[in-house]
Copies of this chain bind each other. A is one copy, B any other.
Amino acid sequence: MKLPEPIIIDPQSVPSLRWGIIGPGRIAETFVAATQKHTSQRFIAVASRTTGRAQEFASKFNIPKTFANYQDLVADEEIDAVYISSHMSDHFEHAMLAINAGKSILVEKPITYLPEEAEQIFAAARQAKVLAMEAMWTRYLPQSTILRQLLESGDLGKPELLTASFCADNRAVERLWKPGGGGIVFDMGIYPIAIAQEILGEPSSIAATGKVRPDGMDEESYSLLNYESGARASLTISGIATLPMLASCSFENAVISLGEPFFVPSSISLKTKDFYPEQTTWVDESGIAGHEGLSYQATWFAKYLSEGKLESEVHTHAQTVANIRTAFEITKQIGAKPF
């Protein structure tokens, strides 16, 4: 079995969209810096309700327009797409605002806490005929295009057991420990959940245990997901301990392992099932390293928009909602309430 070549879209081959930004926080800084460096996308406006924040961000990234409210930004005729990276509990409001103004949206992950809210956003977007995508950037990395080709080839055989973990001692990241700002299962766990979803689909049952603070914020969880296919997934998610961020899946005919961290540009290996396996590894040496990989999704977004698509083909509305449903179920089972 061979590793296929990655599929990389030439950033110059897609329209250079004019983006507006809602919620210019830390992740927006990383996304904009990477996207300005590696793509043909243009950021032309930024809005923040925090005095001076939009100006500061605009100045740093050479963005011509600033707004003190989101209504004015989404109404701006020059804007093709809105990137929403506000507080997680505000995603719904801001997504609906942009959609109602007829704008296509890229919303930071997780898109919402409630599956129903994600469904409402996507229904509204389809109704308004705008593209709506959750910023699950991992799906657009070169290694993910290899993974999908392997999955589509059928050569791997039936999936068996997947393990994925994202454990990072983020006790100092205040946002994660406040209701509405994330929570560990949603903010970090969305990556293991998404990789399991990509490979195995939506689980038919979930059994989760975990550690939750008295205020309802979750610290750590261990989830076993079962699938109608017979496959299983074991997800370990922690905001209070650090472990290698790995994801692997055993199939009937081979084993796939993503590099470390599995959700940023790293590597992908195809291995035999022997105790001392033979393996072929593709290593990402594109030069777009670490969180600069956030830029790929912007190019894919522009491609989809130019094709008149209303959703990502590799991270569909249904898949996005399925992931929120899984995260919601895990938090429910462990007794957390991060929103």
Which residues in A have some Cβ–Cβ distance to B below 8 Å?
A: 160-161, 163, 165, 167-169, 207, 209, 211, 220, 222, 224, 232, 234, 236, 238, 240-244, 246, 248-250, 255, 257, 261, 271, 273, 275-277, 290
Contact = CB atoms under 8 A, between A and B. Distances in A.
A211 B167 CA distance: 26
Contacts of A168: 273, 275
Contacts of A243: 161, 163, 248-250, 255, 257
A243 to B, nearest CB: 5
Given A224-B222, A250-B167, A261 B275 contact: yes
Contacts of A232: 211, 220, 241
Given A161-B238, A163-B236, A209-B207, A169 B220 contact: no
A273 B167 CA distance: 10
A164 to B, nearest CB: 11
Contacts of A246: 244, 246
A242 B224 contact: no
A271 B275 CA distance: 26
A175 to B, nearest CB: 15
Contacts of A167: 161, 163, 250
A276 B290 contact: yes
A276 B259 CA distance: 13
A196 to B, nearest CB: 13
A287 to B, nearest CB: 16
A161 B220 contact: yes
Nearest to A160: B241
Contacts of A209: 207, 224
Nearest to A211: B232
| Top-6 shortest CB links A-B | A161-B241, A241-B250, A160-B241, A242-B273, A242-B250, A243-B248
A224 B223 CA distance: 10
A242 B255 contact: yes
A232 B271 CA distance: 30
A236 B238 contact: no
A232 B241 CA distance: 10
A82 to B, nearest CB: 28
A228 B290 CA distance: 37
Given A244-B248, A248-B244, A163 B160 contact: no
A30 B77 CA distance: 74
Contacts of A276: 290
B165 A163 contact: yes
A220 to B, nearest CB: 7
B273 A169 contact: yes
A249 B167 CA distance: 11
Given A211-B232, A232-B241, A243-B249, 17 more contacts: A161-B220, A161-B236, A161-B241, A167-B250, A168-B275, A207-B209, A222-B222, A222-B224, A234-B234, A238-B250, A242-B250, A242-B273, A242-B277, A244-B255, A244-B257, A246-B246, A276-B290
